[in-house]
Amino acid sequence: MKNYELLTVFKPSLDSEELDKEVEKISSDVKSYKGSVESVDKMGRKKLAYDVQSYRDGYFTVMSVALPAESVVDFKRSLKLNENIIRFMFMEEAKQTQTV
């Protein structure tokens, strides 16, 4: 199982309850793909550098998740199908090496 970082930008039209439901839905999707959510950081509403799907701002969240490698493609597909996500970035966390 590998560790990943997921940055999502949600539509600015969502209220706080809807945003919490969307984050919970993503968490349950991770669990359904036999993964786990390590942490969730709701960064709040921020202005975008450029218009994305005609939106000028969005709600940013960062999640640390652990997923089996064979589930990544299906999980990313479920993120693309979510209508409330206007952009996401899913990347493998770099392994930290210690130098002595």
**Domain annotation covers residue 98:** no
pTM of the model: 0.85
Range of the structural domain that residue 40 is part of: 2-92
- Distance between terminal CA atoms of the chain? 27
**Domain annotation covers residue 29:** yes
d(CA 85, CA 87): 6
Quick one: which of 99, 98, 97, 25 has its CA closest to 61? 25
Q: At what angle do helices 72-81 and 16-32 cross, to 10 degrees?
A: 150
Alpha-carbon distance values, 27 to 23, 53, 99 (Å): 6, 25, 34
**Domain annotation covers residue 97:** no
pLDDT at 99 over 80: no
CATH number of the domain enclosing 46:
3.30.70.60
Of the pLDDT bands very low, low, confident and very high (cuts 50, 70, 90), residue 95 is confident
Of the pLDDT bands very low, low, confident and very high (cuts 50, 70, 90), residue 1 is confident
**Domain annotation covers residue 83:** yes
**Total tally of structural domains belonging to the chain:** 1
